[in-house]
Structure 1
Amino acid sequence: MTDRRDQLARNLATVESRITSACAAAGREREDLTLIVVTKTYPASDVRLLHELGVRHVAENRDQDAAPKAAACADLSLTWHFVGQLQTNKVRSVVSYAHVVQSVDRPKLVSALSAAAESAERELNCLVQVALDAESGERGARGGVAPDGIEELAARVAGAPGLRLGGLMTVAPLAGPYAGRQQAAFERLLEFSSRLRADHPAANMVSAGMSADLEEAVTAGATHVRVGTAVLGDRPRLG
C-alpha cells in the first residue's frame, strides 16, 4: 500500500505541476481551477489514498462501480461527480451518493433526477453535457445535447425541484469539426457558458479537459478538469 501511495503522490504532483504551469501561462490563478480525479475502474482503497493526499473531488462513470465505492468511502469528506452516460433506471442509486451529475443531456433524465432528488430530500448540482459533434436534435456519440438544445435543457434543470443548474460539461469530440481540435472545442464551450450565464449567473462551472488535454482546457478557461489515467496510471479493470 505504501508503494501505491507513493505512486499516486508522484502522479498527483506531476498533474499539479501541469495545472500550475498551464494556469500561469494563461494568466489564471491556480485557485480558479478544480481537479477532479476520475477513479473509474480503480478500487476504494485508491480513493482512500487519494483523500489522504488531499484530493476532495472524485468522479465515476458507471453506477455499478460507483455505488459500492461511495458506500465504502462514506466516512471521507469527498464530493462525488457522476460523469458517464446515465440511464434513468440508475438515477435513484446515483442520487443517493452523487453531489454533481455532469452528464445531463435530455429532458427525461432531468425529470428522473428531479423526482429522485426530491424523494431523497437532496439538492443535486447538474451540468448540461454539450455534444460538439451532434446535429440539431441529436445526442452526441459520447452523450450530450446538441449546442442548439442547451438553452431549453438548462431552463428545465433550473426549474426542476431538487436540482441546481451548475453549468456545462463537454468531452472533446472524436468526430465532426472539432475532432482533434481540443482547445477550439473547449473555447466553443466557454462561449456557450458565457451565453448561459447571461440568464443563469450562478451556472458558472465549465468542466472540460482530461489527462491528455488538460492544458488546452485550462487555456480555454475551464473551471474543472477531469483527470484519471495521469493520476491513477494503468491498472487492471474491475470486474
Structure 2
Amino acid sequence: MAEVERRIVDACRAAGRPRSEVTLIAVTKTYPASDVRLLASLGVTDIGENRDQEAAAKAAEGADLGLTWHFIGQLQTNKVRSVVSYAHMVHSVDRSRLVETLSREAVRAGREVGCLVQVGLEAAPVAGPGGRGGVPPGDVPRLAELIAKAEGLRLRGVMAVAPLGEDPGEAFARLRTVAGAVRRDHPEADVISAGMSGDLREAITNGATHLRVGTALLGRRTPFVR
C-alpha cells in the first residue's frame, strides 16, 4: 500500500498535480472480502470489481464499511439489475442498449448510478482476449449524450485501458483529448478512469482522476498483509 501511494505521489508531483485530484480504486477481483476489509482499514475508500457474482457478495459483506463500489468489467444486460443494487459507478458503458437497461434498473431501484463511457483506443478493433473493448472515439459523444439524458444515470466521464503493445502515454494522451471533448458538452463529466499497476504514471501525466490498481496492491494471488 505504501509503495503504491509513493508512486502516485511521485507521479502527481512530476505532473504538477495535487495528490487530491487522483482517486485510487483497489481492484480486488479473486480476493476475499476479508482483504477488502483490510484495505478499508488502511484507508482505501474505493473498490473495483469486474464480475457481478463476486462483487455483489463482497459489497453485501462489506456494507458497513461505507465504501464506494466501481464495476469495471464488461457488463451483460442480464447482470445490470444486480450491479445497480450496489455499484456507485459503472466504468464500462459501451452500447446504447446497456444505457437503456441501466436507466430502467436504476429508476426501479431508486438509485442514481454514475456512468463512464468506455473508449476503445486501439487503432483498429481487436477481437478476442487481446481486445480492450470500448467504443471508437468518434462514437463517444453520441453515447455520452444518451447517458446524460437517461433517467437514473449520471454521466461522469470516460474510461479506457491502454492497448497491448502500445506506449500507454500516447494512448492516454488520446483519451485525454476525447475526455476534453465530452467535458465541453457536459462540464460535470470530469472523470478520466485510466491507469493500472503498470502504467499509472503515464495515466496521471495525462489527466487521470481514477486509477484501477490490483496487482501492485494485492500481488498475484498471494496473501495481502499489513
- What is the TM-score when the length of structure 2 is the normalising length? 0.94
Question: What amino acid sits opposite 1:111 in the alignment?
Answer: E
Question: What amino acid sits opposite 1:88 in the alignment?
Answer: T
Matched with 1:69 is 58
Question: What amino acid sits opposite 1:210 in the alignment?
Answer: M
Gaps of 5+ in 2: none
Matched with 1:183 is 169
Partners of 2:42 and 2:110 in 1: CA distance: 32
Matched with 1:160 is 150
Structure 2 residue 118 is matched with structure 1 residue 109: no
Question: What amino acid sits opposite 1:124 in the alignment?
Answer: V
Partners of 2:122 and 2:96 in 1: CA distance: 19
Matched with 2:189 is 203
Partners of 1:82 and 1:57 in 2: CA distance: 11
Structure 2 residue 200 is matched with structure 1 residue 214: yes
Structure 2 residue 43 is matched with structure 1 residue 54: yes
Matched with 2:134 is 144
Deviation at 1:64, TM superposition (A): 1.2
Partners of 2:77 and 2:182 in 1: CA distance: 25
Partners of 2:161 and 2:215 in 1: CA distance: 15
Partners of 1:134 and 1:146 within 8 A in 2: no
Deviation at 1:142, TM superposition (A): 2.5
Deviation at 1:135, TM superposition (A): 4.6
Partners of 1:43 and 1:90 in 2: CA distance: 21
What is the CA RMSD across the aligned residues, in angstroms?
1.7
Matched with 1:86 is 75
Structure 2 residue 34 is matched with structure 1 residue 34: no
Partners of 1:134 and 1:145 within 8 A in 2: no
Partners of 1:217 and 1:79 in 2: CA distance: 21
Partners of 2:58 and 2:147 in 1: CA distance: 27
Deviation at 1:181, TM superposition (A): 0.9
- What is the TM-score when the length of structure 1 is the normalising length? 0.89
Matched with 1:233 is 219
Partners of 1:110 and 1:156 within 8 A in 2: yes
Partners of 2:102 and 2:131 in 1: CA distance: 22
How many residues are treated as equivalent by the alignment? 221
